[in-house]
Structure 1
Amino acid sequence: MSLDTLETLRDWLIADQRDLELQDFSEAEVLCGDWTPLVARAKALLQDYEGRLGIHGPFWGLSLANPDFEMRALVARRMLQGLEVCEALGASQMVIHSPYTTWDHNNLDNYPGARGRVVALVRETLAEAVRRAEEIGVTLVIENIEDRDTDARCLLADSFDSPAVAVSVDTGHAHYAHDATGAPPVDYFIRRAGERLRHVHLQDADGYADRHWGIGQGTINWPSVFDAVAPLEGRARLILELRDHGQILSSARWLAEQGLAR
Structure 2
Amino acid sequence: MPTYSLSAGLFIFDSHSKPTGDPIEALERTATAGFQETELMAEGEAWDEVTQGDLGRLKSALEHSGLFPHTLHAPMSGIDLASGIEEIRRHGIDEMTKSMRILAELGGRTVIVHPSGRPGPDENAYSWENIGAAAERAHASVSELVKVAETTGIRMALENLPMTGLPCRPVVSMQELRALIAGFPAEQVGLCLDTGHARICGLDPAEQARIAGERLVALHIQDVDGERDCHWVPGRGVIDWAALGQALTDIDFDGAWTMEALSLEADVSAQEVATACAALRERWASSGMA
Bucket of the pairwise TM-score, normalised by the shorter protein? 0.7 to 0.9
Q: Shift of the alpha carbon at 1:254?
A: 2.6
In structure 1, the partner of 2:255 is 236
Alpha-carbon displacement from aligned partner over 1:111-132 (angstroms, at most 9, x marks no partner): 7xx63x4443123223332211
Q: Is 2:31 aligned against 1:10? A: yes
In structure 2, the partner of 1:84 is 101
> CA separation in 1, counterparts of 2:45 and 2:93?
13
Secondary structure of 2:233's counterpart equals coil
Q: Decide whether aligned partners of structure 1 residues 166 and 83 sit closer, same or farther in structure 2, where only a CA change above 3 A counts.
A: same
Contact preservation (8 Å) 1:54, 1:94: yes
Q: 77, 90, 95: which is aligned to 1:60? A: 77
Q: Shift of the alpha carbon at 1:234?
A: 4.6
> CA separation in 1, counterparts of 2:197 and 2:282?
23
In structure 2, the partner of 1:176 is 200
Select between 120-129 and 161-170 the one with higher mean Cα deviation: 120-129
Q: Shift of the alpha carbon at 1:226?
A: 0.8
Secondary structure of 1:63's counterpart equals coil
* Structure 2 residue identity aligned to 1:196: R
In structure 2, the partner of 1:191 is 210
Q: Decide whether aligned partners of structure 1 residues 74 and 192 sit closer, same or farther in structure 2, where only a CA change above 3 A counts.
A: same
> CA separation in 2, counterparts of 1:38 and 1:217?
41
In structure 1, the partner of 2:160 is 144
> CA separation in 1, counterparts of 2:54 and 2:109?
17
Contact preservation (8 Å) 1:57, 1:96: yes
Q: 232, 236, 239: which is aligned to 1:217? A: 236
In structure 2, the partner of 1:161 is 185
Secondary structure of 2:76's counterpart equals coil
Secondary structure of 1:13's counterpart equals coil
> CA separation in 2, counterparts of 1:36 and 1:10?
24
Select between 191-200 and 86-95 the one with higher mean Cα deviation: 86-95
In structure 2, the partner of 1:253 is 279
* Structure 1 residue identity aligned to 2:148: R
Q: Which runs of 5+ in 1 are unaligned?
A: 179-183
Alpha-carbon displacement from aligned partner over 1:208-240 (angstroms, at most 9, x marks no partner): 111111121111111011111113445222101
In structure 1, the partner of 2:151 is 135
Secondary structure of 1:62's counterpart equals coil
Contact preservation (8 Å) 1:28, 1:58: no
* Structure 2 residue identity aligned to 1:22: L
* Structure 2 residue identity aligned to 1:227: Q
* Structure 2 residue identity aligned to 1:91: G
In structure 1, the partner of 2:168 is none
CA RMSD of aligned residues (A): 2.8
> CA separation in 2, counterparts of 1:171 and 1:127?
26
* Structure 2 residue identity aligned to 1:62: I
Alpha-carbon displacement from aligned partner over 1:37-71 (angstroms, at most 9, x marks no partner): 89433322322847462210012232211122222
In structure 2, the partner of 1:95 is 112
Contact preservation (8 Å) 2:68, 2:108: no
Contact preservation (8 Å) 1:215, 1:255: no
Q: Decide whether aligned partners of structure 1 residues 40 and 197 sit closer, same or farther in structure 2, where only a CA change above 3 A counts.
A: same
Give TM-score, length-normalised by structure 2. Answer: 0.73
* Structure 2 residue identity aligned to 1:250: A
Q: Decide whether aligned partners of structure 1 residues 20 and 154 sit closer, same or farther in structure 2, where only a CA change above 3 A counts.
A: same
Q: 211, 226, 230: which is aligned to 1:207? A: 226
Q: Decide whether aligned partners of structure 1 residues 217 and 50 sit closer, same or farther in structure 2, where only a CA change above 3 A counts.
A: closer
Q: Shift of the alpha carbon at 1:79?
A: 1.1
* Structure 1 residue identity aligned to 2:276: S
Contact preservation (8 Å) 1:95, 1:141: yes
> CA separation in 2, counterparts of 1:67 and 1:204?
33
Contact preservation (8 Å) 2:190, 2:217: yes
> CA separation in 2, counterparts of 1:13 and 1:73?
36
Aligned positions, number: 244
> CA separation in 2, counterparts of 1:126 and 1:29?
27
Select between 3-12 and 43-52 the one with higher mean Cα deviation: 43-52
